[in-house]
Structures are given as C-alpha cells and as structure tokens.
Amino acid sequence: MTIQELLLLEFDEEMANTRRMLERVPDAGLGWKPHEKSMTLARLASHVADLPNRCVSIVNTDVFVRPPSAVPFVAGSAQELLEHFDKARGEAHQALVGLPEQRLAGMWTLKFGERTMAELPRPMALRRVFFDHMIHHRGQLSVYLRLLDVPVPGMYGPSADDAAPAR
C-alpha cells in the first residue's frame, strides 16, 4: 500500500467518526461552555468541522499563512455545522486523492502572520496538524456532549451510550 492509500483509509474512518460526533451537537447548547476559559460548544464544534480544510492546505500549499485578523468559522446552527463539515470533508478527500507521491517528500510550513508555528515534512503535517488535531478536539467535543447529557457515539468501539451487546 502507498502512503496516499493509507492516508485515504484513515481519512475515511476518521471522517465518519467525526460526522457521527458532529451529528449529536444540539442547537440548544451552542452557546454553552464548561468553563469560563473554554470555547463555546459552537466554537469547538465549528473548529472540528473546519479541520478538514487544514488537510487541503497541507496538500495544496508549501507555506500556509493565517493572517492575525482571520476570523474562525462559527456555525449558527447544527445544520450549518454539518453542511460546513461535509463541504470541507469533500474538498479534503479530493485533495488526498490527487496527492502525488513525490509531493509527500516536501515540507509544509504554518505561519500566523510573520511567526512560523510549524515546519514539518508533509506526511507529519497531515498527521499532527490535521488528523491528531481533529481527534484531540473531537475528544474534547465528546466531553462537552457528555456534560450536556447528550448521548456520545462510539469512535473506535462502543461508548457507554451504545446499546450493550446481547449475551
């Protein structure tokens, strides 16, 4: 298997898991946050929904510069959240499908304004800045949902909210 094929296998699994989590985000709780220093549910879920766009930038650019004035996406509804995720997921999938093997040998740089935040080999950038980052925030999102008493879907096996297997 090529690195691209492995990335696509993982992508498909993680996107399905992420969508299942995002499907549970309730409109009624979007403004809620568990602590004054925490993001609101809308901001956290929107960040998770937007992360496939990181995959696109890692595949398609050598240097991604986020201007200090950039305003992050924040969904106003659960429906908008899912629509944004589905669009970003589709674009990320297309980017990975079109990723030439030789492009994986290159470096990728993330900058906030003039400040370099990361300079990584492209496969490591896909792992850390996209996959690991998304999985981390998806885990946070599962805690938010639990605290709101929203059933949490299983990711790599059943959750406490999934039906117990028959004996």
Q: What is the pLDDT of residues 68-96, one digit of tens each?
A: 888 999 999 999 999 999 999 999 999 99
Q: Which residue has the tokens 């800045």?
A: 129
pLDDT of residue 166: 59
Closest among 18, 106, 15, 16 to 60, alpha carbons compared: 106
Give residue limits of the domains in the chain. 9-61+71-102+122-147
pLDDT of residue 1: 86
Which segments of 2-132 does DSSP mark as H helices, in order? 3-22, 41-50, 52-60, 78-97, 122-125
Q: What is the mean pLDDT of residues 110-135?
A: 95
Using only C-alpha atoms, the chain has a radius of gyration, in whole angstroms, of 17
Q: What is the mean pLDDT of residues 112-139?
A: 96
Q: Which residue has the tokens 């650019």?
A: 61
Q: How many CB atoms lie within 10 A of CB 151?
A: 11
pLDDT at 50 over 80: yes
Is CATH 3.30.70.100 the classification given to domain 9-61+71-102+122-147? no
